[in-house]
Amino acid sequence: MRWNASKAFLRPALKRPNLTLLTGVEVDKVLLEQGRASAVLARWQGAEHQFAARREIILCAGAIGSPNILQRSGIGPRPLLERLGIAVKHELPGVGGNLQDHLQLRLIYQVSNVRTLNQVANSLWGKLGMGLRYLYDRSGPLAMAPSQLGAFVRSGPEQATPNLEYHVQPLSLERFGEPLHRFPAFTASVCNLRPVSRGRVDIRSANPADAPLIDPNYLSEPQDLQVAAAAIRLTRQIVQSPALAPFAPREYLPGAALHTEEELQQAAGQIGTTIFHPVGTCRMGNGPMDVVDAQLRVHGVPGLRIADASIMPFIVSGNTCSPTVMIAEKAAQLIRQSSAEPTNHNGKAAIATP
């Protein structure tokens, strides 16, 4: 059971008379009227609807969804929009670019003389025990977060501050969505907190039902490859410490036979996967590739703001959830402080979410 933004902010606000929450809405695009964001076009309950805004529209569809909505609205890179046959309403070349994420390298170690969740979850009696324990006093594996240990460290002495983050779990699997291994093991996941590589996300068509094209471009810069290799070496050093000796850890992935810089860099690409921290695709700033200003207003499009992780110019050195909540808190302050804007003809406000 987790405390989350829905419980903390949304559910209490549902008691307010000036808030209407609609679920199952697929936002297509923002509609412009004389250059100003005036409404949101969306599908809801099998029909197309327009939700008009009296003051502003706030996009908070995330680092993937927000740039896609802008692009379908004709707000984005001209070459992309023209290639897809979308009329350019406002050219913003930075929409969809600057994609950053924390690539986690999932090193797996087999162990002895100890049970891990691999054995518990692969046993019928183990599953039953987990369920009964949770029902009895809300404890046990079902009450735990996936990662039991976190740590921030430096990949080398040249780093002024910690640039690696560890998430360690008492379980292992080949890839997300597959069953746990049947042998006892733990996973030491380590990610580069300040990657230099940049990717992008773009729509593949004007149809909101079509999945976007996401190119994270991981490890495309030599600096990121060097940090990845250093992270694997550091993890091996930690695992070989005397504290873990009673459990005789043996490297399952990427494999103890890999030692050279080239081998470790190649291994990083094979065991690396997203840790689900995409940011930066509608970044804040005043440069030619920036999308929103310091007030989170979309450049050149009055009446439209973005409040999500897509506005981060650089990815934060840690998990992105709490910073995103802080962005939302700041956005609320900015909206309150802003002067009254012309009202729409129907006197309604609109908020667009995924």
- Catalytic positions, please? 277
CA distance 187 to 169: 5
Residue type, 318: G
Pairing of strands 304-306, 272-274: unpaired
Output the DSSP codes for 296-334: -BBTT-TTEEE-SGGG-SS--SS-SHHHHHHHHHHHHHH
The token duo for 103 is 């690539």
Output the DSSP codes for 130-181: HHHHHHHHS-SGGGS-S-SEEEEE-SSTT-SS--EEEEEES--BSSTTSPBP
E strand residue ranges, 87-142: 90-91, 103-110
Angle at 153 between CA 150 and CA 154, to 5 degrees: 155
Residue where the block lists tokens 């969740």: 117
CA distance 257 to 243: 23
Residue where the block lists tokens 């990610």: 191
Residue type, 36: R
Pairing of strands 75-76, 90-91: parallel
Q: Of 187, 290, 185, 203, which is closest to residue 247 (Cα–Cα)?
A: 185
CA distance 32 to 236: 55
Using DSSP, state whether 246 is helix, strand or coil: helix
The token duo for 19 is 């808030």
